[in-house]
Structure formats: structure tokens, C-alpha cells
Amino acid sequence: MDELEKQKHAVLTVRKCQRNWDSNKTIPQEHVDHLVYLATNSPSKQDEIRFGLCVITNPDTRKILYDDYCWGYHRDGNDAGRNNQMGGQLLFVYAKIKESDFGRDTIGITVSESTSKEFDERTNINRERDIGLSMGIVSFAAAQLGYKTGFNTNLFYNKHSPKDWRRILDIDDPTWHPQVVLSIGYPDETLAWYQSRDLEYLEADPREPDLENEVTLEHYKGIRKKWTDMTIKTFGPVSHDTKGNPKPKGIPLKIIK
């Protein structure tokens, strides 16, 4: 495959969400180190730091996160399966942190320690861009190395908090607040990318109040059950047909020559 074809293939790989994995495989350390290098050298406005990153290959930690920290796929309403993309062999957990201020941007805007609401809003927008750029570069490179990828933003279902994440990942910074996980790895070759054999789901505890408005089971742990009317769960696919042909995305595009 020439370089251009390889990059087209990579972007379409990242556009899909891999929802099954081969648990027998591990990613070589050299590749992990390379992807960490890309993630931590990715561009950001003013080169400030606005996110923290936890990179996980440890199987025990991954098992804890997969088991109880990725619920949120709803099938029939009051049920929530896992976001199975979280089962990759390498996880990049991106977190909001207190931003750096190398450029001393806050000086001159206010004489007090606090920043204005608009300043904070702009910081948050910049943070999302920084994370997006880093994830984009890492996932694109991972796909070129032959891996599959999937993103997950469902991190707090089942009465979980940022504090729980910090405890599991042994992170001291109280401002560290996970936002999104990029999961990377080898697929289960016996399934299509949008399929999973994991049929476990959570049902809300009958005492859980206000399910209409609070959809992440914030008060009581959910009750674990299994879907019995299927052997393979499917999610989408959205971006490609089931044979793997990409659908036109339709982003408004104007080219001026």
C-alpha cells in the first residue's frame, strides 16, 4: 500500500469504533512508547498543558475499568451494556486538569487569583481541542501501525466519580477529571468490528430516583443481568455499511483554487 492509501485506510479505521478485542495479544512496548511520545508532544494553543494522561497496559487495571467503568450502551431503555470499545489492550485516559499558565495569561486580565467566566470558557474549549488533537494523532498513528481503535466518553455510569478513577489509577491530583478514553489494540478476528459477545448489562435499582433526568445511575449500584435473546450484540455501524464500505460523511466542503 502506498503512503496515501495507507493514510486513507488509517482514517477510516479510526472513523469506525472497534467493539471487540483479542485478549490473548499484547502490544509491543516500543509501540506503546511511540504512541505516548506522540500524545505528549501533540500541539496545544500557546503550548500550554490543559489535560493529563494516564496510559494503561496493566491487565488488572484494564479489567477493573472494563468490568465496571464503561457502562452506558442502552438497548431497551432501562438497561445499559458496556461500551465494549474499552476492552483494548492499551488505554489512553485523557483527563481535565488545572491548566498551566506558562505564558502568564491570567496576569493583566485580573489582579486577583481568579479568572473570568469567559476566560475559563475559552480554556475549556482549548482543552477539548488539545485533547482532540492528541487523540487524533495517536489514533491515526495507531491505525497506521495496524491497530484498531475506539473512543469512549461513558466513564461515570453506575455511581462512579472522578475520585473513583483517581483511586484506581493512583492519581493524587484532585483536579484530575477523566473526559474520554482512547482504546487501542488487536481485534477479535472472528467478529466484525461493531459486534461483541459481551451480553452483560446493568438494570437500575428500583430505588434509583428520577431516571428520566439522571441517566447514569447516580444513587444506587445497578443490578447485573444478561441479555438472553441474542448471542452477539451489535452497535451500529454508523460510519460504514456492514461490509465495511465507508458512507459519505457529508461535511460541507468548499475548495478554493
CB contact burial 208-225 (16+ within 10 A = b; e otherwise): beeeeeeeebeeeebeee
User: Pick from 139, 137, 158: which is nearest to 18 by CA?
Assistant: 139
Query: CB under 8 Å to 132, separation ≥6 — which residues?
Result: none
Residues 6+ apart with CB under 8 A from 94: 51, 52, 53, 131, 134, 135, 178, 179, 180, 181, 182
Q: For residues 52 and 72, which CB has a smaller minimum distance to ligand FMN in the complex?
A: 72
- Work out how close the CB of 108 gets to ligand FMN at its nearest, in angstroms, rounded to a whole number: 34
Residues interacting with ligand FMN, by CB under 6 A? 16-17, 83, 151-154, 180, 193-194, 236-240
Nearer to ligand FMN, 29 or 190 (CB): 190
- Closest contact distance (angstroms) between CB of 234 and ligand FMN is 10
Least Å distance, CB 100 to ligand FMN, is 23
Cβ-based nearer residue to ligand FMN, 52 or 237: 237
CB of 46 to ligand FMN, least distance (A): 23
Q: Tell me whether residue 28 or residue 250 sits nearer to ligand FMN (CB atom).
A: 250
